């Protein structure tokens, strides 16, 4: 007799029941389909990498959270994002790639975070990035909101806003105000939506910004209006700072091109408040908000970076990218019951054999399958009620019972499990009905 081990997963590791998994996979497929449609190439890198490669950048929170271990003489780690593997991949396979290199990657990443509701230690990231060789046109920055717009529409959302800003505008503006510590200002201003204007001003004063400048900053970042109006206001600012001007010109191009791609004005918006972290992004930045669920926070973020892979190469590889954190998004949407699968079952029909009509059931199933209808045969001995209950528990929309009468007449009673209605049809009629 073996000892029984209690089967359970580790805390912080998401695992779904089949009906939830169907929904999750539907979202994953929608994202993948859109990424591919806009010319992003698929990539799949190992989950395990050499620690020295993965941690080349080193330091910070990440290093503490990483799953790192030794096997034989090898020091290895699980990837904690898809960006570092992209950097490694791009440099390692540089001569085999064509630039701009547009790739997507959907995969699991690992972070040993403190376990808490809605935070996962294993989670899916869905990344798209475009990498240039030495340089990369600003036109690329316009493509990402377009892809995300179509992705979220296909995911079933209408009311979402892709917020767009440009870090050069912020940096240039702060420098024009002769503020030295722009990083601290950015960090403080980033809290505006959370803590409000008064608190932000207070904190700005604390870090040594003058009251006059604090007011100017707050006036500036809360500029509102249509995209064209905000751009026009920015252009009218008499700020003699090249970085600022460059940022405004870039933002203008990005906003105009997104319009050119046909994205409705209501789904993308210049928002001078967003800054996205502190050192990685250098130009365009994006955040995406579900209008009716602002509490979820940004569901898709990213931006432009100067250099993807300085830890692996002297070559300059500028890039721009976006990421959807699908596990967290799914968890929140599912908890809030915001989403439902288009189809709750991947199977269209269950054929239920009466005793001794197993072979006839199989032959009927084969005909339906041949016609492209996802069909399964109930295989076990059981009372009819139990068989129907099984089909119901799997949300299978149609059942067909096969017995003496059906085989004789060639007409099969097909039951709509939702409407609880039944109809006698030939195989051809069933196929026509279900296709």
Residues annotated in a binding site for L-histidine: 81-83, 111, 125, 129, 276, 280-281
Pair type for strands 281-290 and 301-305: antiparallel
Choice between 239 and 249, CB closer to a copy of itself:
249
Helix pair 211-221, 192-206: axis angle to 10 deg: 160
Which window, 213-221, 278-286, 287-295, 343-351, contacts a copy of itself (CB under 8 A)? 343-351
CB of 79 to a copy of itself, least distance (A): 11
Output the known binding site: 81-83, 111, 125, 129, 276, 280-281
**Among 155-163, 194-202, 254-262, 401-409, the segment contacting a copy of itself (CB under 8 A):** 254-262
Under rule CB under 8 A, residue 260 binds a copy of itself: yes
Cα angle for residues 169, 173, 179 (degrees, 5° grid): 135
DSSP string, 258-271: HHHTT--GGGEEE-
Contact positions with a copy of itself (CB under 8 A) in 95-114? 96-98, 100, 102-103, 108, 110, 112
Q: Do the beta carbons of residue 243 and residue 166 sit within 8 Å?
A: no
Looking at residue 13, the DSSP 8-state letter turns out to be B
Q: What is the DSSP letter of 119?
A: -
Q: How far is the CB of 264 from a copy of itself (least distance, A)?
A: 12
Q: Is residue 71 close enough to count as binding a copy of itself by CB under 8 A?
A: yes
Q: Which of residues 192-251 bind a copy of itself (CB under 8 A)?
A: none
Q: How far is the CB of 368 from a copy of itself (least distance, A)?
A: 10
Residues 355-374 that bind a copy of itself (CB under 8 A): 358-359, 362-363, 365-366, 369-370, 374
Q: How far is the CB of 245 from a copy of itself (least distance, A)?
A: 20
Quote the least distance from Cβ 365 to a copy of itself, whole Å. 7
- Asked whether position 385 contacts a copy of itself by CB under 8 A, the answer is no
Burial of 336-355, coded b for 16+ CB within 10 Å and e otherwise, reads: eeebebeeebebbbbbbbbe
Cα distance between residue 321 and residue 127, in whole Å: 7
Could you give the residue ranges of the DSSP H alpha helices within 43-191?
Answer: 51-54, 60-65, 83-92, 139-154, 167-176, 182-189
Q: Does 8 bind a copy of itself (CB under 8 A)?
A: yes
């Amino acid at each position: 007799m073996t000892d029984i081990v209690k089967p359970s997963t580790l805390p912080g590791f998401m695992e779904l029941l089949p009906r939830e998994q169907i929904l999750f996979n539907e979202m994953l497929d929608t994202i993948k389909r859109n990424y591919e449609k806009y010319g992003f190439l698929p990539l799949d890198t190992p989950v395990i990498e050499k620690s020295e490669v993965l941690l080349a950048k080193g330091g910070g929170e990440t290093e503490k959270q990483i799953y790192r271990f030794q096997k034989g003489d090898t020091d290895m780690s699980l990837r904690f994002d898809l960006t570092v593997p992209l950097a490694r991949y791009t440099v390692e396979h540089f001569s085999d790639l064509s630039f701009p290199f547009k790739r997507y990657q959907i995969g699991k990443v690992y972070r040993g975070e403190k376990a808490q509701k809605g935070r996962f230690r294993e989670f899916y990231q869905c990344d798209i990035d475009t990498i240039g060789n030495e340089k990369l046109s600003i036109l690329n920055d316009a493509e990402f909101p377009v892809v995300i717009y179509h992705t979220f529409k296909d995911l079933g959302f209408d009311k979402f806003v892709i917020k767009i800003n440009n870090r050069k505008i912020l940096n240039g503006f702060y420098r024009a105000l002769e503020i030295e510590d722009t990083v601290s200002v950015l960090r403080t201003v980033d809290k505006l939506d959370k803590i409000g204007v008064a608190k932000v001003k207070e904190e700005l004063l604390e870090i040594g910004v003058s009251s006059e400048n604090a007011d100017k900053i707050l006036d500036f970042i809360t500029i509102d209006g249509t995209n064209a109006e905000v751009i026009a206001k920015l252009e009218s600012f008499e700020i003699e700072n090249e970085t600022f001007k460059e940022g405004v010109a870039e933002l203008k191009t990005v906003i105009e091109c997104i319009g050119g791609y046909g994205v409705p004005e209501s789904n993308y918006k210049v928002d001078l408040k967003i800054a996205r972290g502190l050192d990685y992004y250098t130009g365009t930045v994006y955040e995406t908000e579900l209008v009716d669920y602002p509490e979820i926070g940004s569901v898709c973020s990213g931006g432009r970076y100067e250099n993807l892979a300085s830890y692996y190469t002297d070559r300059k590889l500028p890039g721009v990218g976006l990421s959807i954190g699908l596990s967290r998004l799914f968890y929140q949407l599912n908890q809030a019951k915001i989403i439902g699968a288009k189809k709750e079952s991947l199977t269209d029909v269950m054929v239920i054999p009466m005793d001794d009509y197993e072979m006839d059931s199989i032959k009927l199933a084969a005909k339906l399958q041949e016609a492209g209808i996802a069909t399964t045969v109930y295989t076990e001995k059981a009372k009819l009620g139990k068989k129907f209950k099984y089909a119901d528990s799997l949300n299978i929309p149609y059942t067909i019972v096969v017995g003496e009468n059906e085989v004789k007449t060639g007409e099969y009673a097909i039951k709509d499990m939702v409407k609880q209605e039944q109809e006698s049809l030939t195989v051809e009629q069933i196929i026509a009905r279900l296709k």
